[in-house]
Amino acid sequence: MEVRRLVITGFVQGVGFRYAMMAQARLHGVNGWVRNRRDGSVEATIAGSAGQVEEMLAWSRIGPAGATVDKVMVETASGEYTDFELRPTA
């Protein structure tokens, strides 16, 4: 199981990024969470196999229609997750 923390910057709020990411995560069997941050970025933690995590990273670099992703910061994280959820803004 690989766990990564992502911070996605660009035009990523107000375009359904969190909901689209949750749909992608559930489609690929990835667990974790996603939330908006007050600085305008989106933060997520994704957990799954190496292939699942790589698919989510690739999707995160593009995002949903209407989003413009400038950068995806990725770092190794830890934790155990049993689903993919939306979390409140931090």
Segment 35-69, tens digit of pLDDT: 999 999 999 999 999 999 999 999 999 999 999 99
Counting Cα atoms < 13 Å in the Cβ hemisphere of 67 gives: 27
Q: Is residue 44 within 8 Å of 5, Cβ to Cβ? A: yes
- pLDDT score of 47: 98
Residue 38's SS3 state is coil
Quote the mean pLDDT of the chain. 97
Domain ranges, ordered by start, for the chain: 2-81
Active-site residue (options: 18, 26, 31, 61): 18
- pLDDT score of 36: 98
- Element spanning 52, H or E: helix 50-60
Query: Catalytic residue at 18?
Result: yes
CATH class entry, domain 2-81 = alpha beta
For 20-34, b/e burial (b = at least 16 CB within 10 A) is bbbebbeebebbbbb
- pLDDT score of 71: 98
- pLDDT score of 75: 98
Query: Catalytic residue at 31?
Result: no
Active-site residue (options: 5, 26, 35, 36): 36
Q: What is the DSSP letter of 29?
A: T
